[in-house]
Amino acid sequence: MDTEGLRIGRSIVVPEGELAERFSRSSGPGGQGVNTTDSRVELSYDVLRSPSLPETTRARMLARLAGRLVDGVVTVSASEHRAQLANRRAARERLTALLTEAAAPPPRKRRPTKPSRAANQRRLDEKKHRAETKRRRGGRWD
């Protein structure tokens, strides 16, 4: 396990103490141990009250994760592996990916461009050529 916490993007690190893990029994097949081992992992992070997030990043994350938050807390779960340790790793990777995507800066605004004069001329020439081709097809049936 990472001892420093989760790295979000290049500069933000969420300390281990701000993450909350819960364990429960996984559903589905698993043999004799399925009813005795708590291998399912729920990893939670309080985006709203975390002291390690800059305000601008927090606002961006709250807006982008609005549908997934419950009282400002985002939760991911992992239960696809039989071992609890493997599920803990999977949950951390999932949460890291989710938070990194939510914290990413907005994309640059598109700067509108005009087609070049040559491109415009090619387009008009192609239109004339196509019109000429269609005009030559078939005769008049008057």
pLDDT band at 124 (very low <50, low <70, confident <90, very high): very high
**β-strands 19-24, 40-46: how paired?**
antiparallel
| Cβ-based neighbour number of residue 22 at 10 Å | 12
What domains can be seen in the chain, in order of their start residue?
A: 6-103 (3.30.160.20)
Q: Comparing 1-10, 18-27, 78-87, 127-136, which segment has the lowest mean pLDDT?
A: 1-10
Contact 90, 78 (CB under 8 A): yes
CB-count burial class (<10 Å; 0-12, 13-18, 19+) for 26: buried
CB-count burial class (<10 Å; 0-12, 13-18, 19+) for 141: exposed
pLDDT at 142: 58
pLDDT at 29: 64
Its pTM stands at: 0.68
pLDDT, tens digit, 9 for 90 and up, residues 14-61: 888 888 888 887 776 666 665 667 788 899 998 888 888 888 888 988
